[in-house]
Amino acid sequence: MPKSVAVFDIDEVLADVRTPLNLFLKEKHGIVMQRNDWRVFKSELNPKTRRVAPDIMKFIHSEDFFAGLKPFPGVVAGLRRVATENRIFIATARLPKFKGVTEHWLAKLNTPFEDIFCGEIKYGVIVRVRADKFVDDMLNEHQGLLPYRRQNPNFKQIINTRPWNDFYNDPRFIRAHDWVRKSGQKTILERIIQKRGCRETNH
Ligand SMILES: [Mg+2]
């Protein structure tokens, strides 16, 4: 049977962006972000960060920032497990000029993937690789894929729970929470891996 095709976003799905951002906001601007302060992700629209949004953008849009991000716990083992049943592609909204640092970051994790799409419209990527599964934390990315979903009813859309999406309840999008269990919600890995009717073997 051919492998399924799984497409992953990076930021806040594989890579922890909020921890260094919280630190930056606290140390440089004295802004302490609580979980609820993150209900609006875009800094220029967030009432608490709007004032310093240009400085945040400057901080984020650098190779050093992307190179220094930490993967969430469980990402490395999780992606390796996913790769046993899926071809893995990466689709990120990062600007194309950050493709090199992004590639390097993923190579360092030593996790399997076939290609990275940087700064491309995700709809185009999904169509091109004929994706079966898609994991992203941004609601608008998922909503933008509904036309593809209508033509591919088995297309699985997994939304990684974050303060900027958890108020939204749409059963079309499957909820997951990171890569290791920390709440009642299933992990991304549990959502991706096919359920089998029989016990898995070691070979
Ligand atoms: Mg993201």
Contact in structure between 144 and 162 (CB atoms under 8 Å):
no
171 shares a domain with 121: yes
Ligand 1 centroid–CA 16 distance in Å is: 10
Q: What is the pLDDT of residues 44-79, one digit of tens each?
A: 999 999 999 999 999 999 999 999 999 999 999 999
pTM for this predicted structure: 0.93
Is 203 part of a structural domain of the chain? no
Is 40 part of a structural domain of the chain? yes
The values of phi and psi at residue 182, to 5°, are -140, 0
Ligand 1 centroid–CA 175 distance in Å is: 15
Q: Return residues with CB closer than 5 A to ligand 1 (ion).
A: 9, 11-12, 137
Ligand 1 centroid–CA 65 distance in Å is: 15
How much is the pLDDT for 196? Answer: 61
Range of the domain at 137: 4-15+70-192
Ligand 1 centroid–CA 154 distance in Å is: 23
Ligand 1 centroid–CA 135 distance in Å is: 9
**Close Cβ partners of 158 (under 8 Å, ≥ 6 residues apart):** 133, 134, 135, 136, 173, 174, 175, 176, 188, 191, 192
Strand partners, 16: 70
- For β-strands 133-136 and 4-8, DSSP reports them as parallel
31 shares a domain with 9: no
Q: What is the pLDDT of residues 90-147, one digit of tens each?
A: 999 999 999 999 999 999 999 999 999 999 999 999 999 999 999 999 999 999 999 9
